A and B are shown apart, each in its own frame.
Chain A
Amino acid sequence: MRKSRTLPTEPTEPGSDRARPIDRRLFGLAEGARRYLWVTVGFGLASAVAVIIGAVVLAGIINDVFLNGAAPRSLTGALVVLGAVYLGRGALEWGRSVSAHRASATVKRSLRERVMRAVLAQTARGRSAGSGDLALTASTGIDALDAYFSHYLPQLVLGALVPLFAVVWMATVDPLSVVIIVLTVPLIPVFMWLIGTYADRATRSRWLTMRRLGDGLVETLRGLLTLEVYRAGGERLDRVKRLSDEYRRQTMATLRVAFLSAFVLELVATISVAVIAVAIGLRVVQGDLDFEPAMAILILAPEVYAPMRKAGSEFHAAMDGMEAARSMFAVLETADANDGERSGLLPVPQVAVGAPFVTLSDVSFSYPASDDAHTVQVLDGIDLSVVRGEHVALIGPSGAGKSTLIRLILGFGRPTGGSIDVGGVPLDRLDAGSWRSMIGWVRQEPFLISGTIADNVRLGAPGATTEDVASALRLVGADDLIPRLGETIGEQGRGLSHGQRRMVTLARAVLPNPALLLLDEPTAGIDTDTQLRIASAFDRIAVGRTVITVAHQRILVDLADRVITIDGGRIVTASRSEHR
């Protein structure tokens, strides 16, 4: 599992379909989204009509006062209409924004829920699915969809509809302006795409350098103690200053290119307005065009380009949202792809005490390395038979493959070679749910949910009474937590010490009375007191159970019937303990 968390702000890989404005999956997967698309188009139509009416009415008023010498009173009706048009545009805008945020809320909720279900389903099938990055995207990254729904998408719709309506209307009064608009409006997306692609590439290539430069302060913070011990703090100050200046220069070099797309957008828009203004001005002088339609065209011209410009400025925020959504679609699609439930699963066989329970025959496990060029061999030909009621300790250096072995027994991942049997039945023919329900697993990093201590202990046994919970805690030697059962602990067990967290997960593992206990370093990284308490609780916990313990501390190793040393993915020694 990756521990690093990065916000999805990095530019994406080259060749991604980042620039695709409308992803069909977004509207196919989420019901609220499709309805909102129609609402947006409806509002867009109404807004486009309002814009044109507003321009015509305004030009009419100016014409009446300027050329016809109309008395102010005679304008009242037209002014009321004009005011109503702007009020109406405001109301439309508001209504659209409200429905955008509602749609966004619905879509985010449905995506989150489906991703959580997909991750759990994938995990149950033995495939790794969740990661810190995905968790971050699903919880907060997806909020960037707000910008997509409320700003980008509607401006895109307006950007198509307003020029269309304006052109249709202008065609009736001044075809020449239509030509200018038809020639320039398409330039905007073309330029945006051209420069956007170039700028994106330039940004991406500079990204790593910039991140490295930007990290000067991070290193100073994290390595402060080392800097001060070796009296290198002063030298470091110069370095931070130098790196910051370098960072500024590099960033500015990037921005000069990145801002070009916005520049061209603006330039096309404003030059086009200027060209239209001069062109109609000249024709008005020559009497080829009346003042009133000319004025209306001038008022309309900036409105034609405005939505495209706004869509351009929201582009990156919106694409962050799409990016987040896409990484979630990917999870959903993999989950859908192997949705076929397997049939003919067998129940877990009964195994007598002393008979082979879990048997690994020539088990290997490897995964592709990050560069995809070769594979990483984690386990290599493991033969191990654990009899029912036996207590086996797995020892060996970090990274030897012990935790992988435990996960394979749980059915999280399948061996890439060899097989695992339970009482003579291959593990992948077993109903994974009922197999796991026989196992109590304590993994290296304690996993706690936010809730009470009792909630956490009871997680695998929802029917357990408070008395059951208390006796589970007593069994593992955590009597001190019994009075605190109702206490709420924060995320990741905030409020409990490391040792207490371990105690809670241990109690949780034994509460459903599992036949097999898989303990992955139950005493690592905790204080000696708790270690001693867990060790002394061991006989009580292990009685009548099969136990496989991954351990570094000798105190636990000594308690095992058999000690297996694993190094480099192989069993190097196996010894029977003199303990009992």
Chain B
Amino acid sequence: MRGFRRLIGSLRRYPWRFAGSIAAGAASIASSIGLLTVSAYLIARAALHPPLLDLSVAIVGVRFFGISRAVLRYVERLSSHDLSLRLLADLRTRVARALHRLGPAGVASFRAGDLVGRVLGDVDEIQHVFVRVIAPPLIAVVIAALTLLLALVWLPVSAFTILGPLLVAGVVVPWFTRRAGDAAGRTISADRGRMIGQTVEIIEGAPVIVALGAEDRLLAAADEAAERVAHAERRAAWMHGFGDAAILTLIGVSLVGTLWVSAVAVDAGSLDGVMIAVLAMLAVTPFESVATLPSAFERLGRSLGAADRLFEVIDGESPTAEADRPVPIPTEPTLAVRQATVVVANGDRVLGPIDLEIEPGMRVGVVGETGAGKTTLAHVLCRFLDPTVGTVTLDGVDVRDVASNDVRGFVGYEDDRAFLFRGSILGNVRIADQDASEGDVRSVLDGVRLGNWIDGLPDGVRTDVGEAGEEVSGGQRKRLALARALLADFPILILDEPISGLDPATADAVMDDLLAATAGRSLVLITHRPIGLDRMDQIVVMEAGTIVDRGTHPELLERSARYRSMWNAATGSGNR
């Protein structure tokens, strides 16, 4: 609910567009009220055979409303979508700004499994919120007010007979359909989830199922779930048409009631007979404005949830604090981690306490299984995350006193995904340094031995890498990521699983080349495949967030049976 209120608050940036869109929507429905009431007036007056001139205003009115209805509706649809897209642009910018502030570590703290999918789904939902959820009730209110006004002018008592049913149709009916819908949705959703899961399993897993000869058993199970869903859907069918049916009936109530009070008024001489035709039309036409309310209400719950979740991201707190008066980084400093510990919001300790020193030019290997805390350590080193306890210092200067932008320029990081942006190879490498010349880019690409490959490409460095780099192979992607890290010229470079997902021959070649290309600078090599560790100055073994062993490669090979078996498994040397 809070998020939704904030969302409505952002409408304030566009007061005129907002008012204009609602006005156009209301005027469009008012036109159809006008079309029929004026037409009824025209015909009723005509029945009294007045001179033709008396009818000319009514005739013009009918023609005007006949055209304005469609024009206004078109204007309304365009303006409401324009406003939606403006709100969407604002929202996207705010989400992007929040992501920038949170950084990868802050984003990771949102427990949602798939933040990308969630944010996009929510943004998509919000995209429709103005047109489908916010505008229809407001337009209905304007139409109700207009109807009230006309009723009061023409025959005050008809305000009761028309607005009573209109209110029921606009408030009670949507409320009821939403409640009934929720109840039905709850009973179906578990079975539905199972049915969807089984359908996907059978279709995507068909080869495995066929190979196992398990077709009939799985089909029978899927059939059972599908029948349960169909059964529940058949039973829930009664609630779907209720809204439309109720509104039709309420129109009947409005019409009959209004005709009765009008007839009484005409009989008493307090109402011109012509007006009963007009009032009959007024009793029917305003209901157009409430027809879409049931679906707006149905949608409301989803929109509220989406808005809340989005604003949770937008309001998220940065996991690092900027220093008020940042100090510069000392020259050629030693990076020292002292007793660094990271505790996440639910109280779990994901890292530490850790002690680690990286001298200029030193190469450190970090090994450990998934979940050992290697990535969290990398986030602390790049200052995407400040440790809860303990310090990270550069020659004694606490990194918290340094501008995080400066730390970023000092410590570089490439993770296992080696993400590539849509666009050219050149653009992807140049992200590291916007001012780099094509020659600079070319020389780092040669440095990671991509020169020959680039020469064979149709457009050289200007070749497109495809959406998320899908046009390049795993090995080329890792090399491109390394190239941009080299271009950025970080004094300390962290490479997280630089050979994951590569076949052994490629992995060995990439490892050799990356070690050669990074010669002379500090390197932190994070891996669960121990290739290349024999060429590190120091190796730390991590487990459950802490360092459980450290030493040089020969030392660990000698001392640790576990390290030895890992090494042998990867290299295939020695006996089992």
**B36 an interface residue at 8 Å Cβ cutoff?**
yes
Q: Which residues of chain A are near B415, meaning CB under 8 Å?
A: 225
Q: Is the CB of A217 within 8 A of B92?
A: yes
Q: Is the CB of B468 within 8 A of A120?
A: no
CA distance A302 to B285 in the complex (A): 10
Q: Is the CB of A94 within 8 A of B241?
A: yes
Q: Is the CB of A87 within 8 A of B570?
A: no
Q: Is the CB of B66 within 8 A of A287?
A: no
> Nearest Cβ distance between residue B161 and chain A, in whole angstroms?
12
Q: Which residues of chain B are near A108, meaning CB under 8 Å?
A: 230, 233
CA distance A296 to B44 in the complex (A): 12
CA distance A217 to B98 in the complex (A): 12
Among the listed A229, A236, A248, which residue makes an inter-chain contact with B100, where contact means beta carbons less than 8 Å apart? A236
Q: Which residues of chain B are near A72, meaning CB under 8 Å?
A: 260, 263-264, 267
Q: Which residues of chain B are near A71, meaning CB under 8 Å?
A: 267
Q: Which residues of chain B are near A131, meaning CB under 8 Å?
A: 203-204
Q: Is the CB of B66 within 8 A of A138?
A: no
Q: Assuming A224-B104, A247-B89, is B242 touching A281 (CB within 8 A)?
A: no
**A228 an interface residue at 8 Å Cβ cutoff?**
yes
Closest B residue to A217 by beta carbon equals B92
Q: Is the CB of A555 within 8 A of B234?
A: no
Among the listed A95, A229, A284, which residue makes an inter-chain contact with B408, where contact means beta carbons less than 8 Å apart? A229
CA distance A439 to B39 in the complex (A): 80
**B32 an interface residue at 8 Å Cβ cutoff?**
yes
**A459 an interface residue at 8 Å Cβ cutoff?**
yes
Q: Which residues of chain B are near A135, meaning CB under 8 Å?
A: 199-200, 203-204
**B520 an interface residue at 8 Å Cβ cutoff?**
no
Q: What DSSP secondary structure best describes chain B's contact surface?
A: helix
Q: Is the CB of B565 within 8 A of A129?
A: no
Closest B residue to A492 by beta carbon equals B201
Q: Which residues of chain A are near B152, meaning CB under 8 Å?
A: none
Q: Is the CB of B46 within 8 A of A281?
A: yes
The number of inter-chain residue pairs (CB within 8 angstroms) is 452
Q: Is the CB of A508 within 8 A of B246?
A: no
> Nearest Cβ distance between residue B122 and chain A, in whole angstroms?
11
A 48-87 to B, binary, CB cutoff 8 A, 1 in contact else 0:
0000000000100110011101111001000100110111
A 77-110 to B, binary, CB cutoff 8 A, 1 in contact else 0:
0010011011101110111111111101110110
Q: Is the CB of A532 within 8 A of B565?
A: yes
Q: Is the CB of A66 within 8 A of B43?
A: no
Q: Assuming A101-B234, A106-B230, A259-B78, is B120 touching A218 (CB within 8 A)?
A: yes
Q: Which residues of chain B are near A267, meaning CB under 8 Å?
A: 67, 70-71
Closest B residue to A399 by beta carbon equals B473
**A367 an interface residue at 8 Å Cβ cutoff?**
no
Q: Is the CB of A558 within 8 A of B210?
A: no
CA distance A554 to B571 in the complex (A): 6
B375-426 contacts to A (CB < 8 Å): 382, 384, 405, 408-409, 412-415, 419, 421-422
**B119 an interface residue at 8 Å Cβ cutoff?**
yes
Q: Is the CB of A491 within 8 A of B419?
A: no
**A150 an interface residue at 8 Å Cβ cutoff?**
yes
Among the listed A61, A117, A219, A291, which residue makes an inter-chain contact with B259, where contact means beta carbons less than 8 Å apart? A61
Q: Is the CB of A58 within 8 A of B92?
A: no
Q: Assuming A66-B273, A101-B233, A273-B35, is B50 touching A285 (CB within 8 A)?
A: yes
Q: Is the CB of B204 within 8 A of A460?
A: no
Q: Is the CB of B208 within 8 A of A82?
A: no
B 236-270 to A, binary, CB cutoff 8 A, 1 in contact else 0:
11101110111111011101100110111011000
Q: Assuming A228-B408, A284-B43, is B89 touching A255 (CB within 8 A)?
A: no
**A416 an interface residue at 8 Å Cβ cutoff?**
no
Question: What band does the interface of chain A fall in when counting residues whose beta carbon is under 8 Å from B?
Answer: 35 or more
Q: Assuming A83-B256, A462-B217, is B266 touching A295 (CB within 8 A)?
A: no
Q: Is the CB of A295 within 8 A of B263?
A: no
CA distance A274 to B63 in the complex (A): 6
A212-268 contacts to B (CB < 8 Å): 212, 215-237, 240-241, 244-245, 247-248, 251-252, 255-256, 259-260, 262-264, 266-267
> Nearest Cβ distance between residue B571 and chain A, in whole angstroms?
7
Among the listed A1, A101, A115, A535, which residue makes an inter-chain contact with B569, where contact means beta carbons less than 8 Å apart? A535
Q: Which residues of chain A are near B42, meaning CB under 8 Å?
A: 277-278, 281
Q: Which residues of chain A are near B103, meaning CB under 8 Å?
A: 224, 228
Q: Is the CB of B203 within 8 A of A119?
A: yes
Among the listed B86, B488, B570, which residue makes an inter-chain contact with A248, where contact means beta carbons less than 8 Å apart? B86
Q: Is the CB of B40 within 8 A of A225?
A: no
Among the listed B195, B263, B273, B484, which residue makes an inter-chain contact with A139, where contact means beta carbons less than 8 Å apart? B195
Among the listed B199, B230, B431, which residue makes an inter-chain contact with A230, where contact means beta carbons less than 8 Å apart? B431
Q: Is the CB of B277 within 8 A of A66?
A: yes
**A408 an interface residue at 8 Å Cβ cutoff?**
no
CA distance A129 to B207 in the complex (A): 9
Most buried by A among B44, B264, B273, B432: B44
CA distance A292 to B101 in the complex (A): 71
**B350 an interface residue at 8 Å Cβ cutoff?**
no
**A316 an interface residue at 8 Å Cβ cutoff?**
no
Q: Is the CB of B39 within 8 A of A244?
A: no
CA distance A89 to B246 in the complex (A): 10
Query: Could you list 12 examples of A-B contacts with CB < 8 Å?
Result: A66-B274, A71-B267, A98-B241, A105-B233, A217-B119, A221-B115, A227-B431, A229-B414, A251-B85, A267-B70, A277-B35, A433-B213
Chain B interface residues toward A at CB < 8 A:
31-32, 35-36, 39-40, 42-44, 46-47, 49-50, 52, 55, 58-59, 62-63, 65-67, 69-71, 73-74, 77-78, 81-82, 85-86, 88-89, 92-93, 95-97, 99-100, 103-104, 107, 115-116, 119-120, 123, 194-215, 217-219, 222-223, 226-227, 229-230, 233-234, 236-238, 240-242, 244-249, 251-253, 255-256, 259-260, 262-264, 266-267, 273-274, 276-277, 280, 369-370, 382, 384, 405, 408-409, 412-415, 419, 421-422, 431-432, 434, 468, 473-474, 484, 488, 501-506, 528, 565-566, 568-572, 576
Given contact pairs A89-B248, A119-B203, enumerate 7 new A-B contacts (beta carbons under 8 Å).
A75-B259, A90-B244, A116-B199, A222-B419, A227-B431, A251-B85, A264-B70
List the 5 closest pairs (A to B, CB-CB), nearest first: A97-B241, A86-B252, A274-B66, A554-B572, A101-B237
